[in-house]
């Protein structure tokens, strides 16, 4: 019995990590209507940035974020101005293609520079990578996992506050709703979107840090991260910030329980839950209509 409770607890914590990697994707989709398929690859870029700073310059990975996060924000700004903005003029599908192309370019540039070795930031954070709090005999909570979960809540809450309480946040929401009209009240829509992309990339930088600390990565590790982020965002309802946390938790719990049922079940259970939620979303209206019709006929 306790083993299942443990799996659920670990799944919830894992969900925090998925929420961290998904929130940038979800934020970009909700405010800019862009599905960024280079999301995972950009997280790997951040992870490699932290790795180089830690390995060659002796930075603590958390301290190195002071360098990497502004760099990610600049990448976001430039990305919006050079690629996303242009491709978005071609319609909703073009950014998907261009960011897909971008992810291939990033992956291969990383491969060329760093080779195929897997890396991890775990050696640079000492006991934090394995230390835990023992709650009962059967349940222990990893310190890093707990920090990740708290970070997810802080990031999502912070974004929510930012969007509702600050002038830039309100401008981002208004631009998402009607990019043509914001100009008429003095808002530069291009600059607002570039700022939103920079903010999204900040969260991607944080995601890269936790990815590097909790596991290993290599130049091609971005794809799977993109899939987890995508699944968490879709399960939670694309574009909803708190939904992203719930989506991450659902995915994490499903994977943990799947792994307990069968050692091979980790990934497959996560994908199955994602597909079930997706299909349910598509059919829930239909089923609802049919149900109502049946009720009416039998009445």
Partner 1 sequence: MSLLEIRNLDVRHGLLQAVRDLSLSVEKGETVALVGANGAGKTTLLRTVAGAHMPAGGSVVFNGIDITTVPAYRRVGLGIALVPEGRRLFGQMSVEENLVLARSAGRRGDWTVEHVLDAFPNLKPRRHAKAGNLSGGEQQATAIGRALMTNPDVLILDEVSLGLSPLAVDRVYASLQSLIGGGTTIILVEQDLRRAMRVADRIVCMLEGRIVLEGKRGEISREQVSEAYFGLGSDKGRVHA
Q: Which residues bind partner 1 (CB under 8 A)?
A: 167, 170-171, 173-174, 177-178, 180-189
- DSSP lists the bridge partners of residue 119 as 217
Q: Which is nearer to partner 1, 131 or 177 (CB)?
A: 177
- From the CB of 177, what's the least distance to partner 1, in Å? 5
Q: Which is nearer to partner 1, 7 or 88 (CB)?
A: 88
Q: Which is nearer to partner 1, 108 or 188 (CB)?
A: 188
Find the helix packing angle between 93-114 and 222-235, rounded to 10°: 150
Q: Which is nearer to partner 1, 164 or 264 (CB)?
A: 164
d(CA 215, CA 256): 16
Please report, for residues 28, 29, 112, 191, 240, the alpha-carbon distance to residue 179 in angstroms, rounded to integers and kept in the order given. 15, 15, 40, 11, 20
- Strand segments, DSSP code E, in 21-97 are none
Helix (H) or strand (E) holding 134: strand 132-134
Contact 74, 198 (CB under 8 A): yes
- From the CB of 165, what's the least distance to partner 1, in Å? 10
222 SS3 class = helix
- From the CB of 191, what's the least distance to partner 1, in Å? 9
Closest among 31, 17, 27, 66 to 46, alpha carbons compared: 66
Helix (H) or strand (E) holding 21: helix 2-32
Q: Which is nearer to partner 1, 138 or 178 (CB)?
A: 178
- From the CB of 240, what's the least distance to partner 1, in Å? 13
Q: Which is nearer to partner 1, 192 or 197 (CB)?
A: 192
- From the CB of 161, what's the least distance to partner 1, in Å? 14
d(CA 228, CA 21): 8
- From the CB of 187, what's the least distance to partner 1, in Å? 5
């Amino acid at each position: 019995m306790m083993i299942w409770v443990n799996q659920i607890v670990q799944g919830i914590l894992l969900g925090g990590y998925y929420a961290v990697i998904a929130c940038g994707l979800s934020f970009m989709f909700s405010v800019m209507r862009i599905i960024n398929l280079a999301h995972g690859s950009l997280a790997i870029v951040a992870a490699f940035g932290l790795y180089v700073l830690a390995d060659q310059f002796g930075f603590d990975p958390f301290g190195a974020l002071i360098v990497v996060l502004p760099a990610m924000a600049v990448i976001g700004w430039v990305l919006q101005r050079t690629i996303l903005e242009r491709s978005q003029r071609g319609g909703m599908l073009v950014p998907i293609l261009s960011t897909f192309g971008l992810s291939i370019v990033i992956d291969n540039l990383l491969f060329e520079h760093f080779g195929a070795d897997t890396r991890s930031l775990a050696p640079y954070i000492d006991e934090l990578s394995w230390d835990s709090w023992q709650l009962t005999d059967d349940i222990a909570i990893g310190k890093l996992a707990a920090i990740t979960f708290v970070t997810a809540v802080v990031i999502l809450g912070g974004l929510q506050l930012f969007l509702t309480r600050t002038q830039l946040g309100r401008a981002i929401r208004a631009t998402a709703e009607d990019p043509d009209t914001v100009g008429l009240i003095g808002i530069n829509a291009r600059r607002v979107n570039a700022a939103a992309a920079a903010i999204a990339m900040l969260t991607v930088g944080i995601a890269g840090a936790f990815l590097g600390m909790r596991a290993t990565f290599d130049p091609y590790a971005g794809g799977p991260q993109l899939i987890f982020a995508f699944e968490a965002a879709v399960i939670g309802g694309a574009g909803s910030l708190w939904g992203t946390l719930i989506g991450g938790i659902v995915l994490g719990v499903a994977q943990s329980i799947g792994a307990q049922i069968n050692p091979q079940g980790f990934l497959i259970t996560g994908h199955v839950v994602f597909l079930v939620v997706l299909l349910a979303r598509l059919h829930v209206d239909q089923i609802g209509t049919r149900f109502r019709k049946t009720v009416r006929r039998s009445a």
